[in-house]
Amino acid sequence: MGIETEARNFISEIEKLHTIQDIDVAKSKFLGKSGILTQEFKKLSALNSEEKISFGKKLNSIKNQIEEAINNQVKFVKKLELDEKLQAENVDITLPVNNEFGSLHILSYEIKRIKDEYKANGFLILDGPEVETEFFNFDALNIPKYHPARQSQDTFYIEGFPETLLRTQTSCVQIRAMQEKGLPLRMISIGKTYRNDQLDSTHSPMFHQIEGLVVDYNPINIGNLKDALNRIVAFVFEVDSDSVLLRFRPSFFPFTEPGMEVDCCYSKENGNIKINKNGNKWLELGGAGMVHPNVFKACGIDGEAYGFAFGFGLERLVMLKYGINDIRSFYDTDMRILKHYSSISNN
């Protein structure tokens, strides 16, 4: 049987194969080290020059035909395998729907709740740049040049821009709002802030702050502040406002006069915090106070103005509400934690 006949037979047989493994076995028998065509090439050494040229061309032509047939069959088999796989993985639209979808992160859920509540009550929901200038973050808030908060051990300054920093508080949003919108103004701001803190169970170099501001040319007093704080604590912890008992402790903040730390009465039940005016413990929530006159001046507010402001760390409130012991849990990628708290927030 001549090599041409054997090549035709091989091509005919190769077209019947339907697995890559079978094609590789057949290829080895014809083109391998001991293959039929390889043995024919070895005969060239016994031929004279003219015969070598003629026979060599014929063998190379046969080799090209064989390789083309193999490549075509490989493509055909791969397409066949893909079609079978697609057919096997075809979606049955009559099957029940998978109801496991993505959900809001617990912080995103609480932020949305608070924003929706305050928007419904006529407050502006505002935010500003996270990269701020010293004027908006410190100067306009009556924080003097020598204040420790302005030092690099507490604040992230932008290299090459000595008066530019990552905002340490959302109070700078209040300054921008009063400059742009004037008085009267009722607003809240919830956003990321940055402090040069070591990451541990209760501290983070990045955290969210919720800030509230109510200012007007008409008199506003501490009684109004107390009522506003009572409302937000009741809303965040989802209790009746009559259950909330607040305590003010005098404290110094450059941007308030007077300034105070705000505590809330609570009790512990089964290891969980319960906001309760009949409780026996006090929970520190954050800072508040009446807006300092120098802040109004820095904002270009003419005339006598009144107002209050408060600021709480959002992560702290959420940790207290849900009994979370480690702030790092909010930014962990452990799906067990994420699913657990997302299931709570989406109930």
Q: Is residue 291 part of a domain?
A: yes
Mean pLDDT of 276-282: 89
pLDDT at 100 over 80: no
Residues 123 and 259 in one domain: yes
Task: Provide the pLDDT confidence category of residue 101 given band limits of 50, 70 and 90.
Answer: low
Say if residue 51 is in the same domain as residue 171: no
Tell me the average pLDDT across 193-202.
89
Mean pLDDT on 219-223: 96
Which amino acid is present at 41?
A: F
Same structural domain, 131 and 272: yes
User: Mean of the pLDDT values across residues 231-258?
Assistant: 94
Quote the CA–CA distance of 127 and 170 in Å, as a whole number.
8
Same-domain status, 172 and 55: no
Domain-located, residue 81: yes
- Evaluate if residue 345 carries a pLDDT over 60: no
CA atoms of 66 and 8, how far apart (whole Å): 9
Among 54, 88, 122, identify where a domain stops: 88
Number of structural domains in the chain: 2
Q: Comparing 116 with 90, which gets the higher pLDDT?
A: 116
Asked whether the predicted pLDDT for residue 152 surpasses 60, the reply is: yes
Q: Which of 95-99, 102-106, 163-167, 207-211 has the lowest mean pLDDT?
A: 95-99
**pLDDT-derived band of residue 279, with 50, 70 and 90 as boundaries?**
confident
Q: Does residue 337 lie in a domain region?
A: yes
Q: For the domain that residue 292 is a member of, what is the CATH number? A: 3.30.930.10
Are residues 63 and 111 located together in one domain of the fold?
A: no
Residues 222 and 32: their CA atoms lie apart, in Å, by 94
| Cis preceding-peptide flag for 148 (omega within 30 of 0) | no
Mean pLDDT of 301-325: 92
| Residue 71 is assigned to a structural domain of this protein | yes
Domain membership of residue 199 (yes or no) is yes
Which pLDDT does position 294 carry in this prediction? Answer: 95
With respect to residue 146, please indicate whether it lies within any of the assigned structural domains. yes
Is residue 31 domain-resident?
yes
Report how far residue 298's alpha carbon sits from residue 268's, in angstroms, rounded to the nearest whole number. Answer: 44
70 and 132, same structural domain?
Answer: no
Asked if 220 and 326 sit in the same domain, the reply is yes
Q: Is the pLDDT of residue 252 over 80?
A: yes
Domain boundary among 39, 57, 88: 88
Helix axes 20-31, 3-14, angle to 10 degrees: 170
What pLDDT is attached to residue 170?
Answer: 95
Q: Tell me the average pLDDT of the chain.
A: 88
In a shared domain, residues 80 and 164: no
209 and 316 share a domain? Answer: yes
> How many Å is the maximal CA-CA distance in the chain?
116
Do residues 257 and 114 share a domain?
Answer: yes
Is the same domain home to 179 and 261?
yes
- pLDDT > 70? residue 75: yes
Residue 315 confidence class, pLDDT cut points 50, 70, 90: very high
pTM exceeds cut of 0.75: no
Domain shared by 81 and 124, yes or no: no
pLDDT of residue 1: 59
Domain membership of residue 97 (yes or no) is no
Average pLDDT over residues 72-93: 82
Domain boundary among 88, 123, 153: 88
Q: Which domain holds residue 292?
A: 106-345
